[in-house]
Chain A
Amino acid sequence: MGKSIATGPAAPSFAALASLRGVTGPLLGLVLLCVFLSLATDSFLTLRNCLNVLDQITVLGIMAVGMTFVILIGGIDLAVGSTLALAMMVMAYLANELGLPLPLAILCALLIAAVTGLASGLLITGFGVPAFIATLAMMSVARGLANMITDGQQIVGFPPWFNLMAIIRYGGFLTVTVGLMLLVFVAGWLFLRYSTAGRSLYAIGGNAEVARLAGINVALTTIGVYVVSGVLAGLAGVVLAARLDSAQPSSGFTYELDTIAAVVIGGTSLSGGAGGIAGTAIGVLIIGVLRNGLNLLGVSPFTQQVVIGVVIALAVAAEAFRKR
């Protein structure tokens, strides 16, 4: 506590540096992982591969920003994987079956995603349903709806420009989808760090009752956080549809678990009140680099599952140990 007061009034650049405090463990892990893979394979440290990794983490990254907010207030959102599928199917159905212009269809998809978040938020704040159960229910409902839209069928083939958003690298570097992810990260970071609403998430996660007494509208903020998480999951669905040039109702199955893992590896506490976007970015990168690296190393698929599990456990255990 004394420390944070001491750094509070310091220059913004120093504050930015200090925001990495608490994520030194994950960051160190990421650096070690990269160094190892650079030495062990010829192909890891090439521009092309690094761009591939960025491509591969787009969906996870966008969802993880929303999940960071949710976990910061001490909540959890199990519905994101299903919401992703629902948004994707709504978009594809409106555009391909009903002939709506794609941008409009995307907007509607995001709206539906927002509604799922709103429903979770209302269940939690209005009816006192625990976040775990409320979003578990929403996970099931959204997945069912996604399947009902086309009776389980996939929808294939969008206008070429849509798929190209995930393929053409502007300036040899940035696809639209990766750009979108970076934008979401920066916006999320600025929001948490410099806005009153962003700071209030920490307060709610620290102690909701105290936050309420301090004049924060806890219920409204909580609903807002779940809506944002829903919208970002919907956005991730749109991005995934662009990347795959198709929409499938079984998409995003168990993605909520990957997303939670990324946030927690990045040092955000599951009990709320501590963590941030910088850590989440590192957590997402660790998962992305690890999967990519294991493929490059030619590690057998079954061994990969073991390694990923061990790394998740180690990352979180190390951080917990360091804090003691």
Chain B
Amino acid sequence: MTVRARLLGMAATATVALMALNPALAEEPDKIGLAVANLQANFFNQIKQSVETYAKEKGIEVITVDAKGDGATQVSQVQDLLTQEIDALIYIPAGAAAATVPTRLARDQGIPVINVDRNADGEPGDTFIASDSVTSAYNVCKHIFAQAGGEGEMVIVHGQKGTTPEVDRSKGCKQAMDETPGIKVVAEQWSQIWSQDEGFQLTQNMLQAHPEVKIVWGQADALALGAAQAVKVANLPQRIWVAGFDGDTAALTALSEGVFDVTATQQTQYMGRLAVDSAIALVKGETVPKEQLLEATLTTADNVKQFIDQHP
């Protein structure tokens, strides 16, 4: 009898211990890891700030690490986050190649993964939050093509090759091109870290080779700002239209001053909050949609002011 009672007791203790170990049964997360691809990019920095501010309101501690664009660094950093017993991982993969490894590491420990902006095909996150890049890029290109009169030479400064946004934005713009046969892409180049000086250099080289260009598209605002500067320096006779993507804070101001012509403003503040809310839901064991795609608003000098006052 006593043996049986003791066994029962042990079983009860074991169950409690298991419950404590299983995050799906825990109430609320109190620590979230945030692995960012590259904080030099304004877009990621905005998401980081939004996550940190919103989590603080919710009483959740956030530990942020910055991979500076290097996949290997990010794997190490996620290991370190997991050591600190985070309850959920908000994950923006650095580069495309190593994107699966951190998710796999987190899964091994039963920790839910919220992918933001980029997802890994081989190992997708429990949920994926991003802008609907295909549609938004389609809108940006459609708009700039119309501005340029539906015909002319175009050059493209792509983002980092193979990453989700680079692939999707290219796809969206390709759709617009198929509908506008007058547009001819004469050159395209890929940036490594989506930076402004890359945008400047790549565009300068392409303009050198193709002085007839009428449209330049940088797949991120930093690239577009660099491109706009290159256009200015080149001092070519024709009007050159410059398009971007992201709706970075600095870029929106530049847009309102006519530095470049059009962008798509992503809902970075909302993305950050949605990531935290998804983390809470996943930790509680609730179901969250596999993909949560948000619209990025086509932004020109006409409607930019509202986004400068209050970023979505």
Q: Does A38 contact B (CB under 8 A)?
A: no
A156 to B98, CA, bound (A): 8
Among A244, A295, A300, which residue has its beta carbon within 8 angstroms of that of B75? A244
Residue of B with least CB distance to A253: B70
Inter-chain contacts of B84 with A (CB < 8 A): 43, 296, 298
Residues of B within 8 A of A (CB): 36, 39, 63-66, 70-72, 75-77, 79-81, 83-85, 95-98, 100-101, 122, 161-162, 190, 192
Q: Are A48 and B83 in contact (CB under 8 A)?
A: yes
Q: Are B39 and A154 in contact (CB under 8 A)?
A: no
Given A52-B80, A298-B63: A243 and B97 interface contact (C-beta under 8 Å): no
- Write out, one digit per residue, whether chain A residues 286-307 have a CB within 8 A of any chain B CB (1) or not (0): 0000011001101011101000
Residue of B with least CB distance to A156: B97
Q: Are A291 and B97 in contact (CB under 8 A)?
A: no
Q: Does A195 contact B (CB under 8 A)?
A: no
Q: Does A250 contact B (CB under 8 A)?
A: yes
Q: Are A295 and B97 in contact (CB under 8 A)?
A: no
A169 to B213, CA, bound (A): 56
Number of A-B residue pairs at CB separation under 8 A:
85
Among B70, B71, B79, B101, which residue has its beta carbon within 8 angstroms of that of A52? B79
> What 8 pairs across the A-B complex have the smallest Cβ distances?
A301-B66, A154-B97, A244-B98, A246-B97, A295-B80, A248-B97, A56-B76, A298-B63
Among A55, A56, A244, A295, which residue has its beta carbon within 8 angstroms of that of B65? A295
A240 to B76, CA, bound (A): 12
Of the A-B pairs whose beta carbons lie under 8 Å apart in the complex, a sample of 22, sorted by A's number, is A43-B83, A49-B83, A55-B79, A56-B79, A59-B72, A152-B161, A153-B161, A156-B122, A244-B71, A244-B75, A244-B98, A245-B100, A245-B101, A248-B95, A248-B96, A251-B70, A291-B76, A295-B77, A295-B81, A296-B84, A302-B39, A304-B66
Residue of A with least CB distance to B161: A152
12 additional A-B pairs beyond A56-B79, A156-B96, A245-B100, beta carbons within 8 Å, are A46-B83, A55-B76, A55-B79, A59-B72, A152-B161, A154-B95, A156-B100, A246-B97, A248-B97, A253-B192, A298-B84, A301-B64
Q: Which of A203-245 contact B (CB under 8 A)?
A: 240, 243-245
- Write out, one digit per residue, whether chain A residues 115-157 have a CB within 8 A of any chain B CB (1) or not (0): 0000000000000000000000000000000000000111111
